[in-house]
Chain A
Amino acid sequence: MTSLTDRYLAATLRSVPTGRREEIATELRASIADMVDGRTAEGVDPATAERAVLTELGNPAQLAARYTDRRLQLIGPEYYLAWQRLLIVLLSTIPAIVGVLMGVLQATVADNAAGAIGEGIVTAFNVAVQIAFWVTLVFAVMERLGTPLNLPEWTVDQLPEHPTERDVTLTDVCASIVFLGLFIAFLPWQHVQSVVGPDGDRLPILDPALWTFWLPLLLVVLLASIVMEIAKYRARRWTWPLVAVNAVLSLAFAVPTIWLLLNDRLLNPEFVARFAWLRDGGLDTVARISVVVIVAITLWDIAESVVKARRSAR
């Protein structure tokens, strides 16, 4: 007769320890029957009353959690901050390092630039997912077992010296340095390692004549940019001198590159000659798109630094 109640009891008791199941079942069944009786006495028909009572008792899983005093959270307030801090520290360093190492390794073993970069990105992503999963799993288990963390108590001495917000996060700086490092590695790599054509002969992508002046200049600018990223991290936020240095470095990279692109001097003529679509007007398209992208990135970079410097100056 009370199949709905039976189903509700079964759903509730499924996650209650076996030892207490029988007793809770008997008591809860009687309570439900009492509640139904209470409603039918007011003139409600039994089927409607049963539905209303079970609806009032709510989700069986939640009721079972209340009976067993189980916490309905993956990681509670006791562990959350430790979990968050550990995850940020690990995610901001390890995936990038492993990804770069993997990319460099691939680039030296196999002669495939895009493949190596792709391999590095995929590896970094997989490492990040693995870290996030295992750290969260360990904390979730500790939450269930109630393992004490035994972390040192917070003291006033831990307060930062200067109560400034850190506008420049470690993650941003690491990402920038990794990107700059890959770029620096790309310049010599494309000269000696890149492979063109089906017969596997090596052709530099960029014009080798540029090595007399322009490419060393770009390398110096990129290295200076890494130094600036570190200085920025140490300063904790954008300052006006940093904004100026950043603008100079951005322009020192963008202006020569754009000038070389527009004068068809950036790419190796032999490399261009090898591809029909580059010869037949494709080169202009590539140059135009590249110029637009470089201008956009440079302007964005400078504007962002100015905005952040103004915000932290306030």
Chain B
Amino acid sequence: MVSDDVLRTHLQELRRGTVVVASLVALRRPDYGYALLQRLTGHGFPVDANTLYPLLRRLEEQGLLTSEWNTEESRPRKFYRTSESGEQVLRRLLDDLAAVQTSLTTLIEGAPR
């Protein structure tokens, strides 16, 4: 039996890149940091706040997200939305994720158990 630490490390490695994919998908509908965090967690993408907030800024700087301040509510909130180039990158990422899944499936089926 492998130790919990080893398992946790591998799961983290596996999950790391999926936060970006999930954020780009979720932000097709504009949202602010905390609400996005809630939505991702609700859909089975638990992510730490101190990872997500800086990540959003980085994706914005890379031009994959655009942002807009909403000052109508009680506190000013920055709403992010997946940009056009973000959408292109997302399609590539989703294709790749599907390709990984397909490859794994054929590998599992092809390999003697």
Contact = CB atoms under 8 A, between A and B. Distances in A.
Contacts of A33: 75
B50 A31 contact: no
Contacts of A210: none
Interface residues of B, number: 17
B11 to A, nearest CB: 20
A161 B110 CA distance: 42
A57 interface: yes
Contact of B58 (A31, A56, A69): A69
A67 interface: yes
Interface of B: 32-35, 38, 48-51, 53-54, 57-58, 75-78
Nearest to A12: B50
Contacts of A27: 33, 53, 77-78
A28 B33 CA distance: 9
21 contacts: A27-B33, A27-B78, A29-B75, A30-B32, A30-B77, A30-B78, A31-B32, A31-B49, A34-B34, A34-B75, A35-B34, A35-B49, A38-B38, A56-B49, A56-B50, A58-B50, A63-B54, A66-B50, A66-B51, A67-B57, A69-B58
Interface residues of A, number: 20
Given A66-B54, A67-B54, A69-B58, A30 B75 contact: yes
B53 A31 contact: yes
A296 B78 CA distance: 74
**A34, A38, A56 pick with most chain B CB within 10 angstroms:** A34
